[in-house]
């Protein structure tokens, strides 16, 4: 397995996700919207909004963009205060790029594992065929 790229020290990924989640929840409540309202306006569903508001790492950037747009915000408006400055945006962009690299590496590793599993399945299937060929008299006798 390959070594995963390091995530920037400026932002801990989990802390950044929680900060964004908190901003989404605050902005939704400030607008007196329910999760269902925001889901309908953003073209998602309530469970996606709920996941976004708890900082679920499975939320896609595109979904965050839809959520921000549904509240007439930019994605940068969802970032914590210090991350909205020019240097903060650079750090955020670096953190997001680092996270994307981690995800890409994980996807590559998953594909490698899937390929190995497929190879093992082929070997196992071939082994079963060989064992059937080795004992032709046992099949169908009775």
pTM, two decimal places:
0.51
Q: Which residues contact 79 (CB under 8 A, 6 or more apart)?
A: 16, 19, 20, 23, 88, 89, 92
pLDDT digit string, tens, across residues 91-107: 777 788 888 888 888 89
For residues 89 and 15, give the distance between their C-alpha atoms in angstroms, rounded to a whole number: 15
pLDDT at 92: 74
């Amino acid at each position: 397995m390959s070594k995963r790229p390091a995530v920037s020290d400026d932002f801990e990924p989990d802390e950044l996700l929680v900060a964004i989640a908190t901003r989404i929840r605050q902005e939704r409540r400030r607008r007196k919207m329910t999760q269902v309202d925001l889901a309908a306006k953003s073209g998602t569903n309530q469970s996606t909004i709920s996941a976004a508001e708890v900082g679920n790492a499975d939320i896609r950037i595109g979904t965050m963009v839809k959520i921000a747009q549904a509240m007439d915000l930019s994605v940068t408006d969802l970032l914590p205060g210090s991350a909205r400055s020019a240097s903060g945006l650079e750090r955020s962009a670096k953190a997001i790029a680092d996270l994307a690299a981690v995800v890409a590496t994980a996807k590559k590793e998953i594909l490698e594992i899937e390929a190995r599993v497929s190879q093992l399945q082929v070997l196992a299937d071939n082994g079963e065929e060989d064992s059937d060929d080795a004992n032709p008299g046992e099949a169908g006798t009775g």
